[in-house]
Amino acid sequence: MQWEIVIGLETHAQLATRSKIFSGASTAFGAAPNTQASAVDMALPGVLPVLNKAAVELAIRFGLAIGATVAPRSVFARKNYFYPDLPKGYQISQYELPVVQHGSLSFVSPEGGEKTVRILRAHLEEDAGKSLHEDFHGMSGIDLNRAGTPLLEIVTEPDLRGAKDAVAYARTLHALVRWIGICDGNMQEGSFRCDANVSVRRPGAPLGTRCEIKNLNSFRFMEQAIDYEVRRQIELIEDGGTVVQETRLYDPDRDETRSMRSKEDAQDYRYFPDPDLLPLLIAAADIERVRATMPELPQARRERFQSEYGLSAYDADALTGARESADYFEALVKAGAAEPKLCANWQTGELAAALKRDGLEIAACPVSAAALGGLLRRIADGTLSGKMAKEVFEAMWAGEGAADAIIEARGLKQISDSGAIEKLVDEVLAANARSVEEFRAGKEKAFNSLVGQVMKATKGKANPAQVNEILKRKLGA
Amino acid sequence: MLNSSVTEIAAALAERKVSSLELTQLFLERIARLNGELNAYITVSAERALADARAADARLAAGERGPLLGVPLAHKDIFCTRGLPTTCGSKMLANFVSPYDAHVIERFARAGAVMLGKTNMDEFAMGSSNETSYFGPVRNPWKTSAVPGGSSGGSAAAVAARMAPAATGTDTGGSIRQPAALSGICGLKPTYGVVSRYGMIAYASSLDQGGPMGRSAADLAALLNVMAGPDVRDSTSLERPAEDYTRELGRPVEGLRIGLPREYFGAGVDPDVAARVREAVRWFEARGAKTVEVSLPNTRLSVPCYYVLAPAEASSNLSRFDGVRYGHRAQDYADLREMYARSRAEGFGAEVKRRIMTGTYVLSARLLRRLLPAGAEAAPPGGPRFRRRLRAVRPDPRAHHPVDRVRAGRQDRRSGADVPQRHLHHRGEPGRPARPVDPLRFRHRRPAGRPADRRRLLFRGAHAGRGARLPAGQRLACPRADRDAAVSVRLRLLILSAACAGTLLGCGSVQEPAREIGGITGGEAPASAPAASRPPQPRSPQAKSGAAVVGAPARLNISSVCNARDEAGYAGIDPRRWPTVRCASCRQGSRCPGAARAASSSPTSARRATRRTSS
C-alpha cells in the first residue's frame, strides 16, 4: 500500500547584524560567557527593547528574494514561558502579523525536475541564551551572549514530499540566505537551524497527524531523522496504532527520534502584542530602497548562465551554489581566456576538487579567477595538454606563481611543431610494427597504444590532437 | 526653607542666599526625624545627596543657574538608580542594586538636582493605598491614621510632610493623581510617551507613565520640563519638540472651556466630593471659564478594561523576576520548577500574585477566544465615538473616594480601592492613547490634541487657582469642536485635569499641613474633617484640546528607529559591568561555581550587590 510523505520545515536563520535585535550588544560568536549581554539582554528591571533597523532590512531582503509580501504593518508579540536562559520570561517574536508573508522557493529535486515550496511566513524574533548543563556539578550555567540575537523564522507550507526533497529545499534556502547576505549559514554555530513537521497519509487522504522533529543541525541528520520518523509513523499505523501529535528530538548517535513532549504538555504561550514596541510600519519606499541593493538571485543567474554561456542545467546549478562561486565563474569567463564551457569544466572539476580537498570556501581560494584564466589561456592556445595543465594547476595552488611562469620554469611547453611530431611518429611506427599490424587488423586499442608511445617519447609534451591526426594520416585510417 | 516651593528654592540658590548643601542637610534632618513615623522613604541616600549638593554648589559658584540646580528631590523607588537599591516596594527586589540610571534620574542629575532618597510605594505599583509595600505602609502626614493613597504614596507623603520639596511618581491607573489628592499636593500624569519609561520598572507598559509630584502647578511644570522629552531607548516615547511647561503659568483662565462629562457625576460618587467638584467648577466660571456638559457613554467600560489590560501586561512584565539573575531566590528547592515557584511565592506579596494570576488567566488561549469576538481589532470599543467625545475632558469626582485608614500589615487589600481612576487611560488621554479592549490587539496611537492646547489648559488653569480657596480640584475639560455632534461653535476644550484645576485650587486651599508635623505649623486645619473631603484633589491634567487631531498611529518607521546604525555597543550599559548571571539550579547563590566561573571571565564580580547605601 502506498504512503505519501508530507513535510513542512521551520528554519531559524540568524540574521547577520552586528548588534542584537533589541539592544546594542554585539552578536559576535564565541566570546566569554555573558560578556556580550547588555542590560536589555539580561532583562534588568526597567529596560526596554529598541528594534534594530538592520534586522528589519535583512528581513525585507528575504521577503524580496522569495517573492513574498513584505507586510506594510507587522506586530511584535510576546511569547510567554519560563526558562532560565530566557531572561525576560518571554520571547519577543511576531505572531499574528509577521513581516514576510506568502512567498515561494524553487529547488532542483534530486528525483529530477524543479519543485516549488510555498513559504507561509517569515517573522523576526530574538534568540534565547544558552543553558550549560555540563561542568557545573548538579547545577546549570547560563550564558546570555546569544540572548537577543536576531532570528528570522522561515515557515513553509507542508509542500515537501520526501526527506531528499526536504534536504534539497533546505540546501537551497541555505544557499539563498547566504547569497543575499542575511545569514552566514554556519550550522555548527547554530546560525541556521531546521525543525521538520512530518506526517504520512494515503494519497488523496487528508493530512495525517504530524510530529515536529527538533535538533536537525546538519543536512545529513535531517535526512536520517525524517527517514526514521516516516518509517516509525508508517509502522505505527500499519500495526494498527495512531500517531500522536508531539515534539520529538533526533538523536544522531542512535539514529532515532524520541518523544520530547506531547501536545497535551504544550504550553500556552499567552501571546499578546508587546506594548514596549510599536507596530512595525514599512513604507513602499523602504522596500524599494532595499530592492535596489538586491543582487541577481540564484535562479535568475542559473537561467542566465544557460542562455548566455550555453551551459548545461547541471553546470549552471553547480556554479550557482553560492554567490561567490557564480561571481568567480563570471570573472573567469570575463578574463576572456577560454570558452565558458572550458571555464565551467575547470571550476566544477579541478578547482572544486582542490577546494574540497583542502576544506576551503571559494572565497578563500588561493588561485584567483584571473590566475586560473591565465592557465586556461594556455590550454586554449594549445600550449598545454590537459595533463600538463593539471600539473601547472597544482603548482599554482601551491603558490608557485602565475601559469606562464610555471610553464617556463618547468619546461612544460607542449610540442606542436608538426614536423617534429611527424618525425617522432615515424620512429614509433617503425619500432612498433606489431601494433601497426594489430591496428590494421581492426584492433582500435592498438591505435591508443601507439599514441601513448608517442606521448611517452615526448614526456607528454606532444599535442595529443596533432599526434592523433598525424598518426591517422600515416596509418591511412 | 522647608516650606518653600521648588521655584522659591531655586531662586534662593541662584541668589546664593542658601547653599544646596545646607538645604540638603535640612531636608535630611527632617527625613531622619519624620520617616520613622511616616515611612515615606524606603532608602535615604544621605551620602549621595550630600555629594550631589556639593557638586551643585560648585556649579552654582561657577555661575551656572538652572531651575532645579541644587534643589533636593525624592524619587519613587520604581526608578532605577545606579549604586542605590531599587526595590519597587517588593521583597523580590529588596536587595537589588541597579547598575544603571533610569532616563528620568539621568535627566535630574544633569539638571543638578539632589537625590534625597527613594520613596515608598505599593509593591510594583499595584495598589492605591501604599499598604502593599513590603517595607510597610506609608502614613498620611495630615492624619497619620489615614493612608496617603498610592501607589506613589511615599512621594506624596514626603512632599506633603516637607520631607522633600517635590518628588517623582508613576501613574498607571491613578498612582500619581490619587495619592496627590489624598495627601493634599499636586500631581500630574503626563500624556503617555512624554516621559521616557527607560529605567522605570514596568507594571502595565502601555499605561505606565512617570510624572511630577509637588506642591504647586509651577513646581510640576518645573519638574516636567526636566523629565519630559524623547528618549531613543524607549520606542514609545513621543518625538516632538521640547516644550516649556511653565509658559502658560500666570495667564488668565478667562475664555477656557471646560467639559463636564455627565457620567462622572453619576452613581457612586461621594456626595461630599461631588459637591466640592461643583464648587471648583463655579470657581472657574466666576473667573470667565465656560463649562459645557458632555457625555462619554463608554466610561463604564474603563474599569473592566483596566482590569483586563493592566494585569495581562503585568503578568508578562513580572516574569523576569525569577530568581535566576538577580532578585530574591528561595533558599531551598529541589529542582528548577520549585526554584521558580518558591522564589516567586516568597518574593511577591498577595496583591502582586493576584494580578499575575488574573493576567495569566485573561491571556490564556481559551479565555481570549471567548473574550474577543472575531474582528475585534476593527472596532475597538468606543473607538471613534469615544475619541470624539473625549476631546473634552471632564472632572471626575468619582476618583475621589474617602481615604481609607491604614491597616498596618494588611497586605491583601482588595483591588477595589483602585476602581475610580481608570477611564482616561484607555483612550487618547493622558493615559495611553486610544486602546481597544482587546488585549491581543493593543495599538499605539499618538495622542490627539496639540500640545500647546494641553499646556495652556493645564498650567494656566492650575496656576490660576493658586491661593484660591477652592475646595477639591477635579478634572476640568475644555471641549473642542465636535463635528459629529454638530456643535456649531468651535469649542475650545480645555482639559484641565482636575489636578489642574483642582490641584491648582487644591494647592491654594491647603498651603500647609494642618497640624504640626515635625516642627512646621500648618496654615489651614483639615485636622478633624474626614480626610477624604479635605485635601485637594490633584488629578492629572487630561489635556485634550481644541484643534486636536486624532493622531495617526505612531509608526515604528524603520527609518526612524533608534538602533538604526546597527552598531554594537550603541545602546545600553557596558555589558561587562553587569556580568551577574547565576546558575539556574544553584542552591548556593553567589558561591555557586557556575556564577563564579561566569564572573571570572569578566572584570567585575558576579556576586550580586546586596548592600543598601547609608540612610
Catalytic, B151? Answer: yes
Q: What is the pLDDT of residue B482?
A: 24
Question: A226-230: which pairs have CB atoms within 8 A and are 24 or more residues apart?
Answer: A226/A5, A226/A7, A226/A163, A226/A166, A226/A196, A226/A198, A227/A163, A228/A255, A228/A256, A228/A257, A229/A196, A229/A198, A229/A257, A230/A3, A230/A5, A230/A163, A230/A198, A230/A200
d(CA A363, CA A472): 46
**Alpha-carbon torsion angle B197, B198, B200, B203, nearest 10:** 60
**Closest by Cβ to A18, choosing from B336, B568, B585:** B568
Q: What percent of chain B has pLDDT over 90?
A: 45
> Which residues of chain B does A97 touch, with a Cβ-Cβ cutoff of 8 Å?
none
**Which segment of A154-163, A467-476, B145-154 scores lowest on mean pLDDT?**
A467-476
**Residue B241 is placed in which grid cell?**
519638540
Catalytic, B17? Answer: no
In angstroms, what separates the C-alpha of B592 from chain A's closest C-alpha?
8
Strands A192-201 and A150-156, how do they pair? unpaired
Q: Please check whether residue B147 is in contact with residue B405, taking contact to mean a CB–CB distance below 8 angstroms.
A: yes
Chain segment A281-302, per-residue pLDDT in tens: 999 999 999 999 999 999 899 9
Positive or negative torsion for Cα B63, B67, B73, B78: negative
Q: What is the mean pLDDT of residues A108-123?
A: 92
Nearest CA in chain B to A82: B319
In angstroms, what separates the C-alpha of B593 from chain A's closest C-alpha?
7
CB atoms within 10 A of CB A415: 18
Pair A119, A240 in one domain: yes
Chain segment A362-402, per-residue pLDDT in tens: 989 999 999 999 889 888 887 787 788 888 999 999 988 88
Interchain contact, A34 vs B601, CB within 8 Å: yes
Q: Please check whether residue B92 is in contact with residue B326, taking contact to mean a CB–CB distance below 8 angstroms.
A: no
CB atoms within 10 A of CB A355: 19
In angstroms, what separates the C-alpha of B408 from chain A's closest C-alpha?
28
**Which segment of A239-253, B59-73, B359-373, B442-456 scores lowest on mean pLDDT?**
B442-456
Say if residue B101's pLDDT is above 50: yes
Pair A314, A453 in one domain: no
Pair A99, A236 in one domain: yes
DSSP H or E run through B504: helix B504-509
Q: What is the pLDDT of residue B484?
A: 23
Residue type, B506: G
Residue A64, by phi and psi: left (phi above 0), alpha (psi -120 to 50) or beta?
A: alpha
Question: For cell 610494427, what's the residue?
Answer: A433
**Residue B287 is placed in which grid cell?**
473667573
Q: Please check whether residue A189 is in contact with residue A29, taking contact to mean a CB–CB distance below 8 angstroms.
A: yes
Question: A367-372: which pairs have CB atoms within 8 A and are 24 or more residues apart?
Answer: A367/A393, A367/A396, A367/A397, A369/A328, A369/A329, A369/A331, A369/A332, A369/A335, A370/A331, A370/A335, A371/A396, A371/A402, A371/A403, A372/A332, A372/A335, A372/A346, A372/A347, A372/A396
Q: What is the pLDDT of residue A6?
A: 97
63-82 in A: which are within 8 Å (CB) of B? 78, 80, 82
Q: What is the pLDDT of residue B452?
A: 55
Most confident of B493-497, B503-507, B560-564: B560-564
- Among the three residues A380, A410, A440, which one is the final residue of a domain in this structure? A410
**Which segment of A55-64, A243-252, A378-387, B568-577 scores lowest on mean pLDDT?**
B568-577
Say if residue A345's pLDDT is above 70: yes
Pair A252, A303 in one domain: no
Q: What is the pLDDT of residue A418?
A: 74
Sequence ranges of the domains in chain B: 6-304+382-533
Q: How many residues does this entry show for chain B? A: 615
Interchain contact, B558 vs A280, CB within 8 Å: yes
Interchain contact, A141 vs B598, CB within 8 Å: yes
Pair A230, A320 in one domain: no
**A279 touching B (Cβ < 8 Å):** yes
Backbone φ, ψ for residue A11 (5° rounding): -120, 130
d(CA A171, CA A336): 32
Pair A353, A248 in one domain: no
Residue type, B511: Q
B168: which residues sit within 8 A by CB, 6+ positions away?
B73, B74, B75, B76, B79, B104, B108, B155, B210, B211, B212, B213, B223, B227
> Which residues of chain A does B570 touch, with a Cβ-Cβ cutoff of 8 Å?
19, 24
Residue B480, by phi and psi: left (phi above 0), alpha (psi -120 to 50) or beta?
A: beta
d(CA A70, CA A81): 29
Structure confidence at residue B174 as a pLDDT band (50, 70, 90): very high
Structure confidence at residue B410 as a pLDDT band (50, 70, 90): very low
Interchain contact, B557 vs A44, CB within 8 Å: no
CA-wise closest residue to B581 among B590, B572, B573 = B590
| Alpha-carbon distances of B602 from A35, B574, B596, rounded to whole Å | 7, 12, 10
Say if residue B31's pLDDT is above 60: yes
Q: Please check whether residue B430 is in contact with residue B424, taking contact to mean a CB–CB distance below 8 angstroms.
A: yes
Pair A73, A175 in one domain: yes
Q: What is the pLDDT of residue A432?
A: 84
For residue B553, what is the DSSP state? Answer: B
Q: How many residues does this entry show for chain A? A: 477
Q: How buried is residue A456: exposed, middle or buried, by Cβ count under 10 Å (0-12/13-18/19+)?
A: exposed
- Among the three residues A410, A427, A455, which one is the final residue of a domain in this structure? A410
Catalytic, B353? Answer: no
DSSP string covering B441-464, please? Answer: S---BPPSS-HHHHHIIIIIHHHH
Q: What is the mean pLDDT of residues B394-421?
A: 39
d(CA B311, CA B173): 12
Q: What is the mean pLDDT of residues A260-266?
A: 75
Say if residue B353's pLDDT is above 90: yes
Strand blocks (E) in B354-424:
none
Q: What is the pLDDT of residue B2?
A: 84
Omega within 30 of 0 (cis) for the link into B19:
no
Look at residue B379 and give its three-state secondary structure: coil
Q: How far is CA A65 from the centre of its chain?
A: 16
Q: Which of B76, B91, B189, B544 is catalytic?
A: B76
For residue A79, what is the DSSP state? Answer: E
Look at residue A93 and give its three-state secondary structure: strand
Q: Please check whether residue A167 is in contact with residue A223, taking contact to mean a CB–CB distance below 8 angstroms.
A: yes
DSSP string covering B93-108, please? Answer: TTT-BBSS--HHHHHH
Q: How buried is residue A324: exposed, middle or buried, by Cβ count under 10 Å (0-12/13-18/19+)?
A: middle
Interchain contact, A42 vs B336, CB within 8 Å: no
Q: What is the pLDDT of residue B15?
A: 95
Q: Find the CATH number of the domain harbouring A438.
A: 1.10.10.410
> Which residues of chain B does A139 touch, with a Cβ-Cβ cutoff of 8 Å?
583-587, 592-594
- Tell which wins on pLDDT, B471 or A73: A73
Pair A229, A338 in one domain: no
Alpha helices in A215-351 (DSSP H): 219-238, 284-291, 298-309, 313-319, 323-334, 340-346
Q: Which of B19, B45, B155, B175 is catalytic?
A: B175
Structure confidence at residue B439 as a pLDDT band (50, 70, 90): very low
d(CA A115, CA B192): 52
**Closest by Cβ to A80, choosing from B319, B582, B583:** B319
Interchain contact, A270 vs B567, CB within 8 Å: no
DSSP H or E run through B343: helix B336-347
Interchain contact, B443 vs A42, CB within 8 Å: no
Q: How far apart are the first and last CA of chain B?
A: 22
For residue A415, what is the DSSP state? Answer: B
For chain A, the C-alpha Rg in angstroms (whole number) is: 29
Please tell me the total count of domains within chain A: 3
Helix count (H) and strand count (E) of chain B? 18, 11
Look at residue B510 and give its three-state secondary structure: coil
A113: which residues sit within 8 A by CB, 6+ positions away?
none
Pair A331, A275 in one domain: no
3-state helix, strand, coil in chain B (%, to 5): 35, 10, 55
**A91 touching B (Cβ < 8 Å):** no
Strand blocks (E) in B51-150:
72-76, 114-119
- Across chain B, mean pLDDT equals 70
Say if residue A246's pLDDT is above 70: yes
Chain segment A12-28, per-residue pLDDT in tens: 999 999 999 999 999 98
The side-by-side arrangement of strands in the sheet containing A90-94 is: A90-94, A76-80, A272-273
**Residue B24 is placed in which grid cell?**
540638603
Domain that holds residue A333: 298-410
**B354 touching A (Cβ < 8 Å):** no
Chain segment B110-165, per-residue pLDDT in tens: 999 999 999 999 999 999 999 999 999 999 999 999 999 989 999 999 999 999 99
**A273 touching B (Cβ < 8 Å):** yes
Interchain contact, A49 vs B235, CB within 8 Å: yes
For domain B6-304+382-533, give the fold.
Amidase signature (AS) enzymes (3.90.1300)
Structure confidence at residue A429 as a pLDDT band (50, 70, 90): confident
Chain segment B267-303, per-residue pLDDT in tens: 778 888 888 888 888 988 998 988 898 888 888 888 8
Q: What is the mean pLDDT of residues A264-280?
A: 87
CA angle, B441 as apex, A150 and B204 as ends, to 5°? Answer: 80
Chain segment A222-231, per-residue pLDDT in tens: 999 999 999 9
Interchain contact, A142 vs B557, CB within 8 Å: no
- Among the three residues A260, A289, A318, which one is the final residue of a domain in this structure? A289
Q: What is the pLDDT of residue A111?
A: 84
Pair A226, A278 in one domain: yes
Chain segment A195-224, per-residue pLDDT in tens: 999 999 999 999 999 999 987 889 999 999
Q: How far is CA B298 from the centre of its chain?
A: 25
Q: What is the pLDDT of residue B466?
A: 53
CA angle, B272 as apex, B270 and B273 as ends, to 5°? Answer: 65
Residue type, A182: I
**B235 touching A (Cβ < 8 Å):** yes
The side-by-side arrangement of strands in the sheet containing A280-281 is: A73-74, A280-281, B556-557
Q: Please check whether residue B472 is in contact with residue B508, taking contact to mean a CB–CB distance below 8 angstroms.
A: no
